[in-house]
């Protein structure tokens, strides 16, 4: 057997693999595909007066602070220094019974998280009018697994909260002029 031919076959196989990969990836490059980038904002500072006990507000503040390009102002006395003011109008968690059995025992709940806000300049110009975002999830209920269902409920609320914060970040990034 010719030992000089073996490395050239391997090299040929590698080259063919690279060509196939290039053939698959080339159309993606031409279609404008790119990974999601962190949002860029039209403002340099934002004031938000979310309640200190708000879990959703804490996540929102964490996301805004993590951006690095936006100064987060939480002191009400300093709000006039901010480029924009995020007014939190409502944050509401609801647990609604949607299903019962023949004996009247609860079998299914609907968890709902409602968040209303508006974005304005310190001079009062409205950038995003009064907007309501609602997330809802259905959860079954079983008396024999109460602790597990409470944990599941907490995880679902956390998921809804993360979805709302992500939507809010995208809406803030959509503001182009102050």
pLDDT in tens, 3-55: 555 567 777 777 777 777 666 666 666 677 777 677 788 899 999 988 888 99
- 119 belongs to a structural domain: yes
- Quote the CA–CA distance of 45 and 32 in Å, as a whole number: 31
Residue 3 lies in a domain: no
* Per-residue model confidence as pLDDT tens digits over 72-113: 998 888 888 999 999 999 999 999 988 888 888 888 999 999
2 in a structural domain: no
pLDDT class of 146 with cuts at 50, 70, 90: confident
- Which contacts (CB < 8 Å, 24+ apart) does range 103-109 have? 105/143, 106/141, 107/140, 107/141, 108/138, 108/139, 108/140, 108/141, 109/138, 109/139, 109/141, 109/153
Q: Answer yes or no: is 100 within a domain.
A: yes
**Does some domain include residue 33?**
yes
- 0.85 exceeded by pTM: no
Provide the residue range defining the domain that includes 43: 10-174
Domain contains 79: yes
Please count the structural domains in the chain: 1
């Amino acid at each position: 057997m010719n030992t000089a031919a073996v490395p050239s076959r391997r090299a040929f196989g590698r080259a063919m693999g690279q060509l196939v990969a290039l053939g698959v990836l080339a159309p993606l490059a031409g279609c404008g595909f790119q990974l999601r980038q962190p949002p860029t904002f039209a403002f340099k500072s934002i004031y938000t007066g979310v309640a200190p006990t708000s879990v959703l507000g804490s996540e929102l503040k964490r996301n805004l602070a993590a951006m690095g390009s936006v100064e987060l102002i939480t002191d009400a006395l300093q709000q006039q220094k901010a480029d924009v003011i995020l007014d939190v109008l409502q944050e509401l968690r609801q647990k609604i019974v949607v299903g019962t059995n023949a004996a009247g025992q609860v079998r299914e709940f609907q968890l709902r998280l409602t968040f209303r806000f508006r974005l304005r300049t310190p001079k009062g110009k409205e950038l995003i009018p009064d907007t309501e975002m609602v997330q809802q999830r259905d959860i079954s209920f079983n008396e024999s697994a109460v602790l597990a269902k409470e944990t599941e409920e907490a995880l679902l609320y956390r998921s809804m909260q993360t979805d709302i914060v992500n939507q809010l970040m995208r809406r803030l990034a959509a503001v182009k002029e102050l």
